[in-house]
Structure 1
Amino acid sequence: MAHVGKRVVASREGIDRKKLYTLDAAVKAIKERATAKFDETVEIAMNLGVDPRHADQMVRGVCQLPNGSGRTVRVAVFARGPKADEAKKAGADVVGAEDLLEQIQGGNINFDRCIATPDMMPLVGRLGKVLGPRGLMPNPKVGTVTMDVAAAVEAAKGGAVEFRVEKAGIIHAGIGKVSFDEQKLIENIRAFADSVAKAKPSGSKGTYIQRIAISSTMGPGVKVEPASVLVTA
């Protein structure tokens, strides 16, 4: 049997694993139990009533967190000429074309978000097997294939969080840090849940958002009453 440390045992005390908490109570419980020596990420997990194996039940999108994610996001941009200059001015960490392609093919992937202008996609497409599994492939559905590279870079740096449903019908995302005050975390969680709700696919039948839970990186999960989270039906 795996050994459970004292800190983990202590963090679980007072949490009823079967109870659904209001969002306010859940956030308070998470913050009180975040005792790691670093600024833990607050994460959300949403169980959806979809089967992603069917194209009409895929859920994907992006949410601009109102209070940012608390993460330092490194952004790479595939662009040439004036658009490359625009990306650099907006704060992109890596900008290039064929040189960036070679860098990535060589295994040097030192960025968290990848953006491309539409004319660069034939080049970027050659990196599908490298960027795809990492969730870094630019996609127009989430605003990472665009001519407005400055806005895309600023959004990524400012707290834009992409989401995509996994095979089991679950969406995971980091929506802030435990150092955020409770109200900012609540606003971020509601904004994220609202974006997922609005991304409901046409093939979803029955209850779309079935369960929601939040946790910190090293803390216990707390189940949340969906009605206390959702701001739209």
Structure 2
Amino acid sequence: MGKRIENARKLLNAGELYSLDNAISFFVNDYAQKFKAKYDETIELVLQLGVDAKQSDQMVRGAVAMPHGLGKQKIVAAIVDEKRVQEAKDAGAEHVGGEDLIEKIKSGFLDFDVCVATPAMMPKLAAIAKLLGPKGLMPNPKLGTVSDNVSEAITSVKKGQVEFRVEKNGIIHAGVAKIGFAENKIKENLMALYGAVLAAKPAKSKGVYVRGSFLSSSQGPSLKLDLKSFVI
């Protein structure tokens, strides 16, 4: 893999700021034709933010549905009361239940990617919080996975929802598309994430909010982006 990436980097101009369009074109065309891995790699966006993530009032976190999905169907578990079971099933959740599903999870069942719950059921999820939390599966209102609008929450997840959270060093890193997507679809997904991060700017954040941005693929090189090409 090292030699493959090294050869791919030879196609790049050292120190150059790439426009969003040119960076996407590089991965879809130049890189994909000669150097990409044998699977459909994920296009990843990295944003360097001017926030102090160690301060609770400068936390940047949220979720946004990708306009063109993520190229992978997520398996959803919906924990709802009995009256909402059919609604959750109709929305596409693979595993639906109330206390029965909670008991199943307590027994070790974790064969799902996202857990959605209604606010009324959240107190009962305390019994499985230690199982869901470490795996990033605990429903969260900020991520849209705790909602009284069960259908909308499940549909959003199924459509391809990206969760983002700033790390301690001020970095947000998220996969937004596959190299095999059309260039315009990759760009629209990228812009959806970028717009969501802008909207999540903390009130206490001062100075330059987005300080840098990079585009990469799962096993490919990283291109530094010209932030002017993100103007929306």
Scaled by the length of structure 2, the TM-score of the pair is: 0.92
Q: 2:161: which partner in 1?
A: 160
Q: 2:16: which partner in 1?
A: 19
Measured at CA, do residues 17 and 64 of structure 1 come closer, stay the same or move farther in structure 2, by a change above 3 Å? farther
Shift of 1:192: 0.8
Please state if 1:147 is matched with 2:145. no
Q: Which amino acid aligns with 1:163?
A: F
Q: 1:174: which partner in 2?
A: 175
Q: Which amino acid aligns with 2:83?
A: P
Shift of 1:110: 1.6
Give unmatched runs, 5+ long, in structure 2: none
Shift of 1:136: 1.9
Q: 1:28: which partner in 2?
A: 25
Please state if 1:7 is matched with 2:7. no
Please state if 1:107 is matched with 2:118. no
Q: 1:200: which partner in 2?
A: 201
CA contact (8 A) 2:51 2:205 kept: yes
Percent identity between the two aligned chains: 46
Q: Which amino acid aligns with 1:7?
A: R
Where do residues 65-104 of structure 1 align in structure 2 (5 Å cutoff)?
65-104=66-105
Q: 2:211: which partner in 1?
A: 210
Moved more, 215-224 or 102-111: 102-111
Moved more, 6-15 or 144-153: 6-15
Q: 1:121: which partner in 2?
A: 122
Measured at CA, do residues 144 and 183 of structure 1 come closer, stay the same or move farther in structure 2, by a change above 3 Å? same
What is the alpha-carbon distance in structure 2 between the residues aligned to residue 11 and residue 167 of structure 1?
Answer: 30
CA contact (8 A) 1:193 1:230 kept: no
Q: Which amino acid aligns with 1:192?
A: L
Give unmatched runs, 5+ long, in structure 1: none
Scaled by the length of structure 1, the TM-score of the pair is: 0.92
Q: 2:184: which partner in 1?
A: 183
Q: Which amino acid aligns with 1:170?
A: I
CA contact (8 A) 2:82 2:97 kept: no
Question: Over residues 133-169 of structure 1, what are the superposed CA-to-partner deviations in whole Å (9 max), with x where a residue is unaligned?
Answer: 3222211122211111111111111122121111221
CA contact (8 A) 1:30 1:222 kept: no
Q: Which amino acid aligns with 1:184?
A: K
